Amino acid sequence: RVSILITVLAVVISFAKAYDPSPLQDFCVAIDDPKNGVFVNGKFCKDPKQARAEDFFYSGLNKAGNTDNDVKSNVTTVNVDQIPGLNTMGISLVRIDYAPYGQNPPHTHPRATEILVLLKGTLYVGFVSSNQDNNRLFAKVLQPGDVFVFPIGMIHFQVNIGKTPAVAFAGLSSQNAGVITIADTVFGSKPPINPEVLAMAFQLDVNVVKDLEAKFKN
């Protein structure tokens, strides 16, 4: 009986993994109007016979994103919202532009592993493993043509350490990977987290926390 229970538990766990489901048809193009659609994995799908080439197409990743912001970087996302044909496919893409010394600040994708290839410039990249793995930093300096993988859920970052702009492309193992930028989430929540809670968590003076919350308020 114990062996049967273990087997059943293993099967249940295998089905409970948090990944996009495998499609059971050729494609399931997402539509906003549910009138004639079928609801699948967060999106309604149009009749496959009505699918067109445009449902699987996006143009514009040849254009640099605007890096005139506080972190001096820009992420151009191409997921199911831009290409409805990605629905149920479990994959998406981003272009990341970095001004000199710009960064894609520490963040995590709750639903996807990311694989990044550097096309131009020099990046310092890395991720930090979980508490259970003693929060180890895995980091490398990338040159054009280099590839680095950020495992699902791990906090990771990229920094342009060069004097010229950098460009990278990354694939993600979800049609909608999601993103949680650590500083924005912790210090810019709505409503704000009690400053005394964050002061203890980060071992900071409470006034420093209030300052940070004011900066990330918008």
- Is 152:109 a contact under the CB 8 Å cutoff? yes
User: pTM for the whole thing?
Assistant: 0.84
At 88-122, the pLDDT tens digits run 889 999 999 999 999 999 999 999 999 999 999 99
Q: Between vectors from CA 74 to CA 71 and to CA 79, what angle results, nearest 5°?
A: 135
The model's confidence at residue 15, banded by pLDDT at 50, 70 and 90, is very low
> Between the CA atoms of 100, 154, 40 and 77, what dihedral angle is there, to the nearest 10 degrees?
0
Pairing of strands 114-120, 147-150: antiparallel
Share of the chain above pLDDT 70, in %: 84
- Is 112:177 a contact under the CB 8 Å cutoff? yes
DSSP-derived letter for residue 80 is T
pLDDT value of residue 3 = 53
Q: Which residues, other chains included, contact 217 with Cβ-Cβ below 8 Å and sequence gap of 6+?
A: 188, 192
Cis status of the peptide bond prior to 21, with omega within 30 of 0: no
Beta bridge partners of 114: 150, 172
At 124-155, the pLDDT tens digits run 999 999 999 999 999 999 999 999 999 999 99
Residue 94, token pair as written in the block: 């981003």
Residue 129, token pair as written in the block: 């493993």
Residues written for the chain: 218
pLDDT value of residue 147 = 98
Helix (H, G, I), strand (E, B) or coil at 142: strand
Edge-to-edge order in the sheet of strand 155-160: 137-142, 123-128, 155-160, 103-108, 180-181
Beta bridge partners of 94: 77, 170
Instruction: Determine the residue type at 3.
Output: S
The model's confidence at residue 53, banded by pLDDT at 50, 70 and 90, is very high
- Give me the half-sphere count of Cα atoms (radius 13 Å) on the Cβ side of residue 212: 21
What's the average model confidence in pLDDT over 12-35?
63
